Amino acid sequence: MARSMEKYLRPEVQTTPFCPGCGHGVLMGSLLRAIDQLGLDMKNTLFVSGIGCAAWIPSPNFAADTLHTLHGRAVAFATGAKAANPELKVIVISGDGDLASIGGNHLIHAARRNLELTVICANNMIYGMTGGQMAPTTPQGHLTATSVTGNPYRPFDLVKLVKGAGAPYVARGAVTRPYELIGYLKKAIASPEFAFVDVLSPCPTQYGRRNKLDSAGAMYERLRGLCQSEAQGACAPEGAEDTLQLGEFND
């Protein structure tokens, strides 16, 4: 983390909670840079997270009000906090298991309701903290602690899911493209409506080692290959598997 971002961190926090090679630190830095560039008033900003690795991005690191909730319920807690005090800028940041599996119902209903909330999904396509089990975002055929012969199911495309539920601003970024990511985060935070950013973030510890990507470098290379940027065109290359398009998805 750059020294210039330290003002947003609690002085009591000395170490990163993330594994070597985890992408969540890049997301954390990108989020703080977006906040810095927007000049957001941290006194009136509330960060809400659920349970899992990504929930540790704001809590206890950010020098702001943080609400570290139950598994899956971050969006529901955030809804009450925002409704009771509309002056607050409420930013939910949590993982794909938290937001899209156990908390999937809250996510789609918040998108439908269109209350002003920013929801950031740190999507590593696996349950990291509990030991690498299959997530609703794990690509089909990939190996996890609960799918040792390969995930038999199709993953959620969170962008399509949340957009289908009515969210006015939906974007997908990746920690391998931090400058684009900062741009999406800024637009999402500045939005007066419900905004969702799916952020692809590698998990070498739990995901990589089971899928022959046993170095952080190999994970980042795979993520680069997985992502289709806006500049590369709207469609995945012919025959490409597991391709996810980056960019903003708005009418």
* Residues near other proteins, by CB under 8 A: 10, 12, 43-44, 46, 48, 59-60, 63-70, 73, 76-85, 87-88, 105-106, 109
Identity of the residue, 77 or 207, whose beta carbon is nearer to other proteins in the bound complex:
77
- Shortest spacing between CB 43 and other proteins, in angstroms: 5
Identity of the residue, 109 or 210, whose beta carbon is nearer to other proteins in the bound complex:
109
- Contact indicator for 178, 185 with CB cutoff of 8 Å: no
Under 8 Å CB-to-CB from 211, ≥6 apart: which residues?
Answer: 142, 143
Beta strands in the chain (DSSP E): 45-49, 65-68, 89-95, 118-123, 169-174, 195-200, 227-228, 244-245, 247-248
Under 8 Å CB-to-CB from 224, ≥6 apart: which residues?
Answer: 176
- Shortest spacing between CB 41 and other proteins, in angstroms: 10
- Give the whole-angstrom CA distance, residue 65 versus residue 88: 10
Identity of the residue, 111 or 200, whose beta carbon is nearer to other proteins in the bound complex:
111
Rg of the chain over Cα atoms, rounded to whole angstroms, equals 17
- Shortest spacing between CB 86 and other proteins, in angstroms: 8
- Contact indicator for 40, 194 with CB cutoff of 8 Å: no
- Shortest spacing between CB 8 and other proteins, in angstroms: 11
Structure tokens at 159: 């962008």
- Shortest spacing between CB 186 and other proteins, in angstroms: 22
Identity of the residue, 108 or 200, whose beta carbon is nearer to other proteins in the bound complex:
108
Identity of the residue, 110 or 158, whose beta carbon is nearer to other proteins in the bound complex:
110
- Contact indicator for 189, 33 with CB cutoff of 8 Å: no
- Shortest spacing between CB 91 and other proteins, in angstroms: 12
Identity of the residue, 78 or 121, whose beta carbon is nearer to other proteins in the bound complex:
78
Q: Which amino acid appears at position 199 of this protein?
A: V
Pairing of strands 118-123, 195-200: parallel
